[in-house]
Structure 1
């Protein structure tokens, strides 16, 4: 499955806000720089995330946004279900007309089922867990390469 760019940017914004100190507010410009995305795209994502209750926004000179408790606890699957465009995975309708196989085709249903399985697998992952340092993994070891004589 492939994320659309709006969903990708929205998830990255949530991750950035999740690691920021709770009292700090981030501006939309700062978020745009942090996620490497144009300001206009980030401002649209911020608006949608605010409407979803995942972030809160404060206006004014010292305003900005921060993640809410709901945003920290939201699952990736839940967020993606809301942000996705819900178009069929298979292109059954096109500029040349409908696919001639549509009446007897099972592909559309199978692919939509696979998309839901993708979301279900992400229902186990919270936004806050995406930004946690790994609990285990490779250990960095520095070797002395100078020769002792």
Structure 2
């Protein structure tokens, strides 16, 4: 299955926030630079992550975002369920409205079951456990943070 671009940006933003040194607030611009995505796209993702209750935001000159406890425990499957904007994985639309076969379509039901199986498999993957030092230290250097990444497995 393929995830949409918005979900991809959101997952990358959560990974960056998850691996930031404890107590560090990251600006949306810093997250955008870290994930190599335009500010406007990351800004929309951060707003959505906040509305989902996964990040805390502090306003002001010294403000920024940080992953909260709910965000640290979130799984890839949970997040994708909230971010997947496609109502119909089979795209059962024609230029002249709906497909005439849409009522009682077995393909559509099979595609929905496959999508849910995809999410269930990703429900076992906690997003904050994904980043690792070799991956994140160069990223943090590009946004001006010292490479102090500690793997979630090594945290007390």
TM-score (normalizing by structure 1) = 0.84
In structure 1, runs of 5+ residues without a counterpart are 135-149
Tell me the equivalent position of 2:73.
73
Number of residue pairs the alignment of both structures matches: 134
Runs of 4+ in structure 1 over 3 Å off: none
Alpha-carbon distance between aligned partners in 2 of 1:125 and 1:5, rounded to the nearest angstrom: 20
Structure 1 position 61 matched with structure 2 position 61? yes
Deviation at 1:53, TM superposition (A): 1.1
Specify the alignment match of 2:35 in structure 1: 35
Post-superposition Cα deviations, 1:111-149, rounded to whole Å, max 9, x if no partner, equal 011000000000001011111469xxxxxxxxxxxxxxx
Q: Which runs of 5+ in 2 are unaligned?
A: 135-156
Is 1:101 matched up with 2:125?
no
Q: Tell me, what secondary structure is at the counterpart of 2:57?
A: strand
* Matches for 1:1-149 after TM superposition, within 5 Å: 1-103=1-103, 105-132=105-132
User: Structure 2 length as normaliser, TM-score?
Assistant: 0.81
Question: Larger helix proportion, structure 1 or 2?
Answer: 2
